[in-house]
Structure 1
Amino acid sequence: MDRPVAVITGTTSGLGRIAALELARRGYRIAAVARSRPKAERLLSELRAASADVQADIFYADLGLVSQARRVGEEIAARYPRVDVLVNNAGLHAFSQRTTTEGFAEMTAVNYLGPFVLTETLTNTLVTSGPARIVNVASEAAKQARTMSPGHDLRHTDPYTRRESMALYGRR
């Protein structure tokens, strides 16, 4: 592979989409992690329109499921001998509690557990690719969190209201 590789989560909208388009214009091979096939296909069309010689691959996973985050990390590591940039951008602000099939609060799973597991799974590839970079995108809401208790926050699955969601989002 003659191009640097950028793995980006949350590429079908917002900052992830913008990052994918910009890095493609700069000559990176894009490894986009997405949940939605239709949205991923639209992203591929946009990437091709932005750069005639774009190289991009889509990897499908729901990062709210730890098992899928690990699986997609393994798929990416098997596909690319090197990864130059990992952008953990996928995120979720849930207005009510939803619990994943693995028993985690969905907001916590998508915003923290999924990116952690993906990064951990790609660590050897990133280290041997050096100098590689990991970019973790976070919300300004984290600055407003008054307290954090990781042990409690990671296991908290009690219901909450839309009004309470912002404070929890900043912590998760």
Structure 2
Amino acid sequence: MTESILAITGPTSGIGRATVKELVHDFDRILLLARNLKKAACLKKELLDVNPKVKIELIECDLSILTSVRQASHTITYKYNHIDCLINNAGIVKTSRRESMDGYELMMATNYIGPFLLTHELLPIIMNSERKQITVVSSGAYKFAPMKKPFFKPKHFNPISGYGRSKLGTLYLAQELYEFYSRKGLRVTAVHPGAVSTNIGKDNVSKQLADTIFNLLDPFFVSVEEGSQSVIKAVRQPEKYAGFYSDQGEIAAVKQYGSDFKMRREFIDATLKELDLQAL
């Protein structure tokens, strides 16, 4: 029997941590793609305490840095010929403007560009697995703002629209994957798990701005355990959720900007050009 392998980004805190702890018995091997290897090592010990039989590998990966994503992908594809399930979980919220090392707005870089590149690099070995599954953690925040040029290096920064567009991008990614690869057996789900409130408001901004952002995002806040359940359901029930948008565990229609096929096509094409790729 082929060894079952899960790869997950952002596993050391929040929803990612709760998700991987719940799935520790579901796979033979788990690849933890993390920025902080010290935290990942602590998580590895916890996971092995729960399931001593599972194999855990730590992969250093900062999704905001393209070279880090490429190195992590190379490490994985060199060692393994298949991955059964990829969970694109990692994400950030920033209340003040930051840029990645590659010059992109940081939320767009971390939440979308990095995961897009990682998915592209790992897709051949995902398609080489028996399970062929990708779960993309998006957000209901995709409704906050339409996609707008310049896509990756906006002239003006707004934390609400910036976060929303980065999550709209992840939704477009899931839709694109399903459209082009579902006929080859790939099962893709975009999940809105809710957002954990402690992930926001830590930047050095005025209390008034932080409170405004918090209030706008508050409807999306859930506990870590609640948020992880929607991801876990998608992973454990791929046939039920494949090709759908899951809103906290319930299949829901995609609304507003998420249904703009023309903009999705333009945005994905711009991403491919930016990353010098021919296809996803």
> Structure 1 length normalisation: TM-score?
0.89
- Aligned match of 2:151 in 153, 161, 165? 153
2:84 equivalent in structure 1: 84
Does 2:72 match 1:72? yes
Q: Quick one: higher RCO (CA 8 Å, sep 6+), 1 or 2?
A: 1
Question: What's the CA shift string for 1:14-54, capped at 9, x where partnerless?
Answer: 12112211222223310010001221111111101211212
Offset, 1:2: 4.2
Q: Counterpart of 2:147 in structure 1: which amino acid?
A: M
RMSD: 1.6
Aligned counterparts of 1:34 and 1:146: Cα–Cα separation in 2: 29
Q: How many residues align?
A: 166
CA contact (8 A) 2:64 2:101 kept: no
1:166 equivalent in structure 2: 160
Aligned counterparts of 2:27 and 2:100: Cα–Cα separation in 1: 37
Q: How does 1:11-160 map to 2 (within 5 A)?
A: 11-142=11-142, 144-149=143-148, 151-156=149-154, 158=155, 160=157
Question: What's the CA shift string for 1:94-145, capped at 9, x where partnerless?
Answer: 1111111211111111000100000000111111224310111012211x32
Offset, 1:159: 5.5
Q: Counterpart of 1:9 in structure 2: which amino acid?
A: T
Aligned counterparts of 2:2 and 2:11: Cα–Cα separation in 1: 23
Runs of 4+ in 1 over 6 A off after TM superposition: none
Aligned counterparts of 1:84 and 1:139: Cα–Cα separation in 2: 24
- Identity percentage over the alignment? 33
Q: Counterpart of 1:166 in structure 2: which amino acid?
A: I
Aligned counterparts of 2:68 and 2:77: Cα–Cα separation in 1: 14
Aligned counterparts of 2:75 and 2:62: Cα–Cα separation in 1: 14
Runs of at least 5 residues in structure 1 that lack an aligned partner in the other structure: none
Aligned counterparts of 1:148 and 1:102: Cα–Cα separation in 2: 21
Offset, 1:152: 1.8
Runs of at least 5 residues in structure 2 that lack an aligned partner in the other structure: 167-280
